[in-house]
Amino acid sequence: MVEWPVMLSPGPARTGITFALGLVVAGCATRVPTPSQAPVRVVVAPAPIAPLPPPVPQVDPVVELVAVSTLHFEAGEHELRLGHLTAAKAEFNRALEVLLESPFGARTEPRIREHFDRLVERISAHEVTALAEGDGFAEQRPEPAGIDEILAITTFEVPSPTPQTTQAVAADLETVVHDINIPLNAKVLSFVELFTGRLKAFLEEGLNRGVQYLPMIQRIFRAEGLPLDLAYVPLVESAFKPTALSRAKAKGIWQFMRGTALENGLRHDWYIDERAEPEKATQAAATYLKSLHEMFGGDWHLALASYNGGPGRVQRAIKRSGRTDFWKLAASSRYLPRETRNYVPLILAAIIIARNPAMYGFDIQLAEPPQFETVTLTTAIDLRRVAEWVGTPVQAIQDLNPELRRWTTPVRAGEYELKLPPGTADIVRARLAQTDPAELAPLNWYTVKKGETLLSIAKKLKVSRTDLAEANYLSTRARLQSGQRLVIPRAPALLLAARPETPPPAVEPPSEPVVVAVSDTGPEVTPARPASITYRVKRGDTLSSIARLYRTTVASLKAWNRLRSNSIKVGQRLTIFTDRAATATS
């Protein structure tokens, strides 16, 4: 507020003010002011001042460009987590391209150059990880088998049954009809106590996982005339994990050893391990259990003991002891190992609880069996490509096809039915029809030259001779013929960069920029434009070999030269930036 004095003196200029003051005086009966009084101060509010508009923020084009590039990079990482290598590659390349296509370029502005170099390093790190973990050559990672954990505990820490457990099991066995004989003895009761105590969470998790497989197992066992109680054997063996692998190398929900699996009709090769396919493994388990049952004269306890320890071991124990009853045989430690002696009561205790879980305090959730469609494949295909086509994580495809040991389906035509999420089979069929078969799987083909062997080719291509043989359905001692074609798994890395196992020693960059024109006699060095060199491609060169020569990456070469593929031609000129590469000296 602003104040200033107003003097009451005659004159036309005061007319309005005098009139207003007269109104005030007329309303006051106490006294009338006179001109001799002190001046009256009138307070007048100033007119409001309109606020200034907010300042328009100045956008830093470099910051904005880096943000766009970062968004593409993060999108690439998201696709990579889903197993979508093609989409990840596209996003990573776009993250570099937006920098290269900008008015600044990727090298002139310091902040962009720093971001570009960091991106190349991070993308290369992802690439190396992809080579190590998902190259089509490495086997899928298994889960630990439950049997190892259980048997380790039962070796030292089997609790004695409480009176409450004994009473509950006795009442249960009187009301629930079992189709194999379950005795009410201390051993079985002790394992019921263990499963309802320390191992309750383990058993409950296995029961909940097994709900989806039990209808299938019971259907097969019913058709084969087997006791349905035996459907719960996987509860102890694997907790119903299809990819469970024990320390003894038994695999699948039924924990088959490789030899036993082959004897009972399961396929096992470089591409496929049907021990991990629940339905096929269950059919094999039914066949094996029936043969054991017949071998031991219809005694399911001896059959179960031999399922764990092997029929030969149980037969030798019977012969040595003269005892044909499992419980008498297991009463002594002389004839059977502890694991086998504990195995049968473990199975029986699990069956007791699984048949009546609510009575023992278990909360089991209903679950539907996995739904799927199938597509018959006539050529090998990378599962990650399928996952991208149908818009699902690659893990979902692997979960439906756990028998696939690697990222690719088998190379033999027409012999693999790939399971797919419901509603996606037509999508995959359409994409298969549109895609060149050579682009479907991470496999290279090699033509054998005269005099070459599996060992020499394996050394030349830096792969295992065993893997090379098995990938081609050959023995390791197989003789090769000139002109024979072998499948060589290649690493489907994000940017397809081939990296040397040991990088060449660093070479100091030259003090002046150079052009390198490589001929048959070697590189020729001449002055060139600042901050880069130009490399002329010669016969036999690849992006990988050039990247190794200049201690950079294929990703950088492609980004710097805006290459959309790995193809290069003799005589083609490539730009290589000297702060990322060193000149060749020989």
Residues assigned a catalytic role: 237
Token readout for 71 is 């968004």
Q: Name the helix (H) or strand (E) containing 3.
A: strand 2-6
Q: From residue 276, give the alpha-carbon distance in Å to each of 235, 253, 281.
A: 15, 7, 7
Q: List beta partners, residue 40.
A: 6
Which of 274, 236, 260, 209 lies closest to 148, judged by CA? 236
Judged by DSSP in three states, 64 sits in: helix
CA separation for the pair 277, 271 (Å, rounded): 13
Give phi and psi for 104, each to the nearest 5: -80, -25
Largest alpha-carbon pair distance within the chain? Answer: 144
Q: Could you tell me which residues come within 8 angstroms of residue 584 by beta carbon, excluding any fewer than 6 positions away?
A: 516, 518, 523, 549, 550
For 483-498, b/e burial (b = at least 16 CB within 10 A) is eeebbbbbbbbbbbbb
Q: Name the helix (H) or strand (E) containing 156.
A: helix 146-156
Q: Name the helix (H) or strand (E) containing 346.
A: helix 338-355
454 by Cβ neighbours in 10 Å (0-12 / 13-18 / 19+) ranks as: buried
Token readout for 465 is 């001779």
Q: From residue 268, give the alpha-carbon distance in Å to each of 139, 385, 400, 454.
A: 13, 24, 18, 21
